[in-house]
Amino acid sequence: MVRKLFGTDGVRGTANIHPMTVEMAVRIGAAVGRHFRSDSRGVHRVVIGKDTRLSGYMFENALTAGLTSTGMNVLLLGPVPTPAVGLLTPSMRADLGIMISASHNPANDNGIKFFGPDGFKLSDADEAEIEALIDTGVEPAQASNIGRAKRIDDGRFRYQERVKSTFPAGMRLDGLKVVLDCANGAAYKAAPEVLWELGAEVIPFGVTPNGTNINEGCGSTNPQLAAAAVIAHGADIGICLDGDADRVILIDETGQVADGDQIMALMAARWAEEERLRDGVLVATVMSNLGLERFLDGRGLRLERTGVGDRYVVEAMRRGGWNLGGEQSGHIVMTDFATTGDGLMAALQFLAEMCRTEQPASVLARSFDPVPQLLKNVRYAAGATPLEAQSVQSAIADAEARLNGSGRLLIRKSGTEPLIRVMAECEDEGLLTEVVDTIVAEVSAAV
């Protein structure tokens, strides 16, 4: 079955515009409730977390209405990171976990992410079946079987203790000065508390959410504020989370930014030394830099590439039995510890390496020299199909011929926003810029 409603990570869009409307959220809640309430077990429950967007209140209530109408009992966690929902779904014996968040998107957007009873994100097949139920509608439960809803106060603290347990026993962060940017998002309480409890001196940013300032000029997609703060405060490191804290970008003591590729390179090399990296494989997407692949090759390790989206990284990891993967954007997945990307856990792994080696972040965050890479986005209107234009296809074919094996070209639609992403890698930076700009111009003319 073909999915029309679900993107690369659940359902996402602008609040109060289809598909992110109250009416649709009620229907989605009823559909997923019916889909996961398929056995005869007497108690059925779902945990719901959210980030700090104003529209989260609206969607939390709408989903609760749909879920309880099918007999699901709802446990409301309040603002927690996305990985907390992945953790708490199986821990609390829930049939389903839901996170209300649009991740790194602006405050006016929102989304609904789903986790199965095992704590992992749903498969394409599950999402297609849920879409079918949304289209056809579901039979509500009898009045005597309507579900209940209640707020859970300890979900965040359960998550925080789990995160701290992934840090090496007996190791402390005493003496480390850390700039922490929580993007005014879901980890604005959890992340500072975890780092402080482990001994760090924490300089917090992005910890005053007001419903409309999530990701606004801060967080993993806007690390400039944190980079300046690292320099101003003489900090050892900067940690930038996104709105739902499932991704992280690091800043070294000189103010330089390290993306997910550099974090994965460090972790893969270290885990391989400790014989913890299963089969010597790191899983990453087609967006990861060619320099990462060369770095791994030089150490007898292998990069397994997937489509874009941390869900596809995790699916490949589970199929292959591999335990480390992620995305250049900062999703770092460690299935020994979590079921999805966890920015705070990944940051702790990096901090542990700083403590173990007594090396600065600037050394550890530069495992390889990246191949010059350029990514540009072109926004398009709903219903437009610019990639099908003959002029665009010709430009892409010409670019591939010009690169002629000396680099990579990747053109794709975003799964979370109405954008065409044009990315290329090439040692010749002049050719790189020319190739990308030519394709962007043709795509822009076709939208």
Binding residues for Mg(2+): 103, 242, 244, 246
What order do you get walking across the sheet with 96-100 strand by strand?
11-14, 109-115, 96-100, 45-50, 73-79, 149-151
Helix (H) or strand (E) holding 176: none
**169 alpha-carbon distance from chain centroid:** 27
DSSP string, 236-291: SEEEEE-TTSS-EEEE-TTS-EE-HHHHHHHHHHHHHHTT-SGGGEEEEETTS-HH
**Residues flagged as binding site:** 103, 242, 244, 246
Helix (H) or strand (E) holding 12: strand 11-14
**120, 339 contact by CB (below 8 A):** yes
**191, 241 contact by CB (below 8 A):** yes
Phi, psi of 342 (to 5 degrees): -140, 105
Nearest to 294 by CA among 284, 282, 286, 303: 303
d(CA 372, CA 136): 49
Nearest to 342 by CA among 313, 367, 380, 369: 313
Is 103 catalytic? The answer is yes
Those residues whose C-beta lies under 8 Å from the C-beta of residue 319, and which sit 6 or more positions away, are none
**253, 245 contact by CB (below 8 A):** no
The residue type found at 349 is Q
**180, 191 contact by CB (below 8 A):** yes
**311, 8 contact by CB (below 8 A):** yes
Q: Is the peptide bond before 360 cis (omega within 30 degrees of 0)?
A: no
Q: Which of 103, 220, 288, 329 is catalytic?
A: 103
Nearest to 246 by CA among 121, 130, 377, 154: 121
**82, 244 contact by CB (below 8 A):** yes
Total residue length of the chain: 447
The residues assigned a catalytic role are 103
